[in-house]
């Protein structure tokens, strides 16, 4: 499967299979979509159930509040954001699962190619937030997938 937005190619698994675990991929804005799509494709490749939630940045908190119930049913959440990188902390305060934060190199003003978002995310006051490198959608998706698969396996026992 070719995904031009993510700049990826994924070979689907042969045969039918049930998704393992559940991960939401959340973006602050539409400019974050390529990195989010890379995380989504990684999670699909790993066989995880995925949910895409777009454009719920902190500039419009009502948009995030509307999707909090969806996030609370996930094994892990990937949050992709540029600018000041505040969204992962806000999401982390609403969920009881790991949040993998991905700073993006997009943004205007003093974003410094994602460094401002990276530093903001590293300073998150939410204890369930961990951070990967700038634009590292694959890495965030892979870590979230490992968490979701382990949690799903644990529920089977």
3-state secondary structure the chain: CEECCCCEECCCCCCCCCCCCEEEEEECCHHHHHHHHHHHHHHHHHCCEEEEECCCCCCCHHHHHHHHHHHCCCCEEEEEECCCCCHHHHHHCCCCCCEEEEECCCCCCCCHHHHHHHHHHHCCCCCCEEECCCCCHHHHHHHHHHHHHHHHHHHHC
Residues 52 and 109: beta-carbon distance below 8 Å:
no
Task: Using alpha carbons, select from 130, 48, 116, 45 the residue that is nearest to residue 82.
Answer: 116
pLDDT digits 0-9 by tens, 88-140 = 999 999 999 999 999 999 877 788 899 999 999 999 999 999 999 999 999 99
| Per-residue pLDDT at 126 | 96
Q: Which two three-digit tokens encode residue 130?
A: 């961990």
- Average pLDDT along the chain: 91
User: CATH code for 26-156?
Assistant: 3.40.50.1970
Q: Is the pLDDT of residue 6 over 60?
A: no
Residue with tokens 């490198």: 133
| Per-residue pLDDT at 111 | 84
| Per-residue pLDDT at 107 | 73
The pTM of the full predicted model, rounded to 2 decimals, is 0.90
pLDDT digits 0-9 by tens, 36-63 = 999 999 999 999 999 999 999 888 889 9
| Per-residue pLDDT at 156 | 82
């Amino acid at each position: 499967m070719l995904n031009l937005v993510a700049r990826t190619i994924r070979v689907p698994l042969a045969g039918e299979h049930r998704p393992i675990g559940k991960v939401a991929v959340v973006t602050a804005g539409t400019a974050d979509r390529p990195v989010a799509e890379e995380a989504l494709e990684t999670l699909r490749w790993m066989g995880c159930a995925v949910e895409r939630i777009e454009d719920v940045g902190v500039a419009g908190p009502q948009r995030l509040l509307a999707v909090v119930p969806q996030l609370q049913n996930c094994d892990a959440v990937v949050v992709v954001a540029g600018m000041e990188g505040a969204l992962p902390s806000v999401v982390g305060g609403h969920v009881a699962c790991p949040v993998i934060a991905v700073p993006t190199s997009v943004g205007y003003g003093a974003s410094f190619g994602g460094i401002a978002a990276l530093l903001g995310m590293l300073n998150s006051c939410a204890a369930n937030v961990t951070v990967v490198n700038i634009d590292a959608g694959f890495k965030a998706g892979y870590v979230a997938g490992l968490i979701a698969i382990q949690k799903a396996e644990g529920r089977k026992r």
